[in-house]
């Protein structure tokens, strides 16, 4: 059985960390991405996090925006202890209001009108003040364009603060404490339409927090290999889930570098894989990367457990639980074989390629009820993975975004075609079928997906999109094939562009190409009579359909 996480990726001891406390804004993750693009390490936690529970101390704290009003009874509030830590604080939008409201609950009120979109803000340079007051906007012109998104606003200047930015309708668009390094801004520097947003975040991170800009993949790899070797020890065995995607491949390659053949990569053929998936994974991992790989045939077991199940979360949990069942059996087999190998120890660790967006989307300050969906690498796993007994979970990529993982993979020498491969979810085609999962329906998705992806590759646009796939709506629609009437399934095509997979836009296909694909699928895949293209962005949708 698999036990509670013992975190392997703990950069806080090596890299200065800026903590982003999330109040539920749709752009909170962008704050992290902007800071990391400045080579400053940042991590996000729910706004209700108790600072006493943190085993590390941040060099600075950012309070994100959020959809709530600070004066409502049910609104979230930050642990007051952050104001006694002696580290710089930057409040953005709701975070700025949180700072002002804590000083006096009359400082924040509903504005007379909403202020959304682009706004010119006046930067006020104050003479005779301590240097830190002007440091947030250092190098930013006196009038600059920013992105606003608020209705509530500061109606009084908080005691002990001065005004450092304003607009005609928001007199306190920027505030700074006279003595402490505490700042608040009513606009969003993390959004690209704020022209000098990167400079403002850079000023806060490097000039105010004094964070070192050493968050670089080559530094992370070296430290991570040392950390893994120390954590795992000299004899313990590690088993790891692989799928052939970039996340699990990079994680597997890292483990191979750290502990050699004591790492055992396991690919479970769930029966929910894409066309020729297992053969491709074997070629990439075993033949090219020399990773110790075992393929387990579990298709029959997965289909039997999924029979009659239609609810998405139930599917995810069943697939996650079945994964672990098969891994436990494989761990026993590997451990038995290891007894006959000199200096080989027990199987003590379980590797997963969990990424940071998986964690963010599976956590909320409101608790589990606000979770959009559980991820197969997080909430979708059975509860016994967190029960404190058996295997320990190791997730060396859990601090990284997708683009960082790709750069990580390049540093590890993984070939570019695999690095740029579109993500494939752990539950596989099982969450790309709206309704019950059956072998017949999976095969339809396989064939349609193969046509879709091969057409994209032939057109030379595969790398222009972040993820593309075919899915199946098990509702049926009438089609005409030759002179006969058919009643078949509806194929859903989805392709998105995204930087970090926290938000995404539908890919804008050339109309001739998408029409060609839409004609090919019903003609070549018997059982599908209609093809539709999903134009939903994220938000309001998610990238996967379930």
Q: Cα(251)–Cα(349) distance, rounded to whole angstroms?
A: 13
Tell me whether residue 166 is annotated as binding: no
Q: Can you give the pLDDT at residue 212?
A: 93
| Bridging pattern class, strands 174-177 and 182-185 | antiparallel
The arithmetic mean of pLDDT across residues 342-358, rounded, is 77
Return the minimum-mean-pLDDT range out of 13-27, 102-116, 160-174, 506-520.
102-116
462-487 pLDDT per residue, tens: 999 999 999 999 999 998 776 677 88
Tell me whether residue 478 is annotated as binding: no
Note whether 489 and 454 are same-domain residues: yes
Tell me whether residue 69 is annotated as binding: no
Q: Can you give the pLDDT at residue 545?
A: 92
Note whether 374 and 446 are same-domain residues: no
Active-site amino acid positions: 93, 188, 190
Is the model more confident about 397 or about 327?
A: 397
Tell me whether residue 75 is annotated as binding: no
CATH at residue 478: 3.30.300.10
Q: What domain count does the chain have?
A: 3
Note whether 474 and 395 are same-domain residues: no
Q: Is 293 within the bounds of a domain?
A: yes
Tell me whether residue 111 is annotated as binding: no
Q: Is the pLDDT of residue 370 over 50?
A: no
The arithmetic mean of pLDDT across residues 22-48, rounded, is 89
Among 367, 392, 420, residue at a domain's last position? 420
Single out the residue of 471, 444, 429 nearest to residue 526, CA to CA.
444
The arithmetic mean of pLDDT across residues 515-525, rounded, is 96
Note whether 202 and 237 are same-domain residues: no
Note whether 253 and 193 are same-domain residues: no
Residues 6+ apart with CB under 8 A from 372: 361, 542
Neighbours of 27 (CB within 10 A): 19
| Percent share of the chain, pLDDT over 90 | 54
Return the minimum-mean-pLDDT range out of 14-18, 209-213, 427-431, 518-522.
14-18
pTM above 0.85, yes or no: no
CATH at residue 71: 3.40.50.880
Q: Residue 158 in 3-state DSSP?
A: coil
Q: Is 194 within the bounds of a domain?
A: yes
452: confidence class by pLDDT, cuts 50, 70, 90: very high
Tell me whether residue 534 is annotated as binding: no
Radius of gyration of the chain (CA): 26
Q: Which stretches of 339-400 are DSSP H helices?
A: 356-361
Residue 279's domain spans which residues? 232-420
Q: Cα(295)–Cα(266) distance, rounded to whole angstroms?
A: 6
Tell me whether residue 249 is annotated as binding: yes
Note whether 204 and 239 are same-domain residues: no
């Amino acid at each position: 059985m698999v036990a509670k996480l013992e975190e392997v990726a703990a950069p806080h001891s090596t890299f200065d960390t800026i903590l982003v406390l999330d109040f539920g804004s749709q752009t909170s993750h962008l704050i992290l991405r902007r800071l990391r693009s400045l080579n400053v390490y940042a991590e996000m936690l729910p706004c209700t996090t108790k600072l006493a529970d943190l085993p590390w101390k941040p060099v600075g704290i950012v309070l994100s925006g959020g959809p709530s009003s600070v004066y409502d009874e049910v609104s979230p509030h930050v642990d007051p202890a952050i104001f006694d830590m002696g580290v710089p604080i930057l409040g953005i939008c709701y975070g700025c209001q949180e700072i002002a409201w804590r000083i006096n609950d009359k400082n924040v009120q509903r504005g007379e009108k909403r202020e959304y979109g682009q706004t010119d803000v006046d930067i006020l340079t104050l003479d005779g003040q301590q240097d830190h007051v002007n440091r947030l906007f250092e190098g930013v012109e006196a009038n600059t364009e920013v992105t606003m998104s608020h209705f509530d606003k500061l109606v009084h200047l908080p005691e002990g603060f001065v005004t450092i930015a304003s607009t005609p309708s928001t007199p306190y668009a920027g505030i700074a404490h006279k003595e402490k390094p505490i700042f608040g801004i009513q606009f969003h520097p993390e959004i690209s339409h704020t022209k000098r947003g990167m400079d403002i975040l850079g000023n806060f991170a490097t000039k105010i927090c004094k964070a070192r800009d050493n968050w670089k993949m080559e530094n992370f790899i070296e430290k991570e290999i040392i950390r893994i070797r120390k954590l795992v020890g000299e004899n313990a065995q590690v088993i790891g889930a692989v799928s052939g995607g970039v996340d699990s491949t990079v994680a597997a390659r890292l483990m191979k570098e750290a502990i050699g053949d004591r790492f055992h990569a396991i690919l479970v053929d769930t029966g929910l894989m894409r066309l020729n998936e297992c053969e491709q994974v074997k070629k990439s991992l075993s033949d090219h990367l020399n990773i110790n790989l075992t393929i387990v045939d579990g298709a029959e077991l997965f289909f039997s457990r999924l029979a009659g199940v239609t609810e998405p979360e139930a599917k995810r949990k069943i697939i996650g639980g079945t994964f672990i069942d098969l891994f436990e059996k494989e761990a026993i087999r590997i451990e038995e074989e290891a007894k006959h190998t000199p200096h080989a120890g027990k199987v003590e660790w379980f590797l997963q390629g969990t990424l940071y967006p998986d964690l963010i989307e599976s956590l909320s300050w409101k608790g589990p009820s606000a979770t959009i969906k559980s991820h197969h690498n997080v909430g979708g796993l059975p509860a016994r993975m967190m029960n404190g007994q058996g295997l320990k979970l190791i997730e060396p990529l859990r601090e990284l975004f997708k683009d960082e993982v790709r750069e990580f993979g390049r540093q590890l020498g993984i070939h570019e075609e695999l690095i740029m491969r579109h993500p494939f979810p752990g539950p596989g085609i099982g969450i790309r079928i709206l309704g019950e999962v059956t072998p017949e329906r999976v095969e339809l998705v396989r064939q349609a997906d193969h046509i879709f992806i091969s057409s994209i590759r032939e057109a030379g646009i595969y790398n222009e999109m972040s993820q593309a796939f075919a899915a199946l709506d098990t509702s049926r629609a009438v089609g005409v094939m030759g002179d006969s009437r058919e009643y078949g399934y509806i194929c859903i095509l989805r392709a998105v562009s995204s930087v970090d997979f926290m938000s995404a836009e539908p890919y804008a296909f050339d109309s001739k190409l998408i029409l060609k694909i839409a004609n090919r699928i019903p003609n070549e895949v018997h059982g599908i009579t209609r093809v539709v293209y999903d134009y939903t962005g994220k938000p309001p949708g998610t990238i996967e359909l379930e």
